[in-house]
Structure 1
Amino acid sequence: MRDPKPGTAWSVGRARRRAAYAAWMTSAGWARQRDAWLAEWARRHPGRPPVCAACGEAWDPRRGDLHHRDYRRLGTEAFSDLIPLHRSCHDQLHQLLERAARPPRTRRAQASDAVLTHLRSTHRSTPGR
């Protein structure tokens, strides 16, 4: 679980939500949810393995992460709530999300999508990719 930004503290409600998230991410239910996501990927994309949504390279669920675009359905995530990312790409996405000044009422999913678009363009413009 990520710590609060330096110089800030979490509210009691935020700390509870983060604890619930941490518990979910280490649960057998989350392992089943990941398996279900992979099965749905295979159904939607026959014969095509998942790729990292940021860099486009092959994604391996044992070494990669599924990023939550939104936490509103935590525990009952829809396929579209989760994005496959390499751990390094996932870390980059969160660093940019945390630094970004979001307009009020911008949902986390919208912010994640905007940062992901930026990461994709960065990876496309990197020599050797």
Structure 2
Amino acid sequence: MNNPQYTNNPIINGAPSTTSPSDINPGSNGVDFIEVNPSVIIPFAPGTTPIIVKVSVPNTNTNVDKITVTITEPNGTTVVNQVSPGDTNKVDTFPITPLPENSTMTVTFGTNNGQPPENVTLSVIAC
């Protein structure tokens, strides 16, 4: 559970059209967004009810200093809305309960310089 889990089919909004979903995986160079308020949307696989442990931007060469993680049910109801504390780019205060099937996670980013996020990788640890 301590190993980063790579996101499977993220939808990366606010990035160049040449961006590949694998560009956001830990260990890659990351995504350089072109919009100030981009988002990454991660639909959970059908039939899964994950328990989210931690969401973070592990790349230390980034201007991201805040993330917001929102998880919504298929009907649009928000079940989780967590903001990283202080000047950190991780959230690890999720409820220890399985999320509803077919939920969607949306991650948004804040930066320390008001510019579009740079060198962004995303780690999601869940079980």
Bin the TM-score by the shorter chain: under 0.3
Q: Which has the higher contact order (CA 8 A, sep 6+)?
A: 2
- Structure with the higher helix share, 1 or 2: 1
- Structure with the higher strand share, 1 or 2: 2
Q: Which structure has the greater CA radius of gyration?
A: 1
Q: With structure 2 as the length reference, what TM-score do the two structures score?
A: 0.26
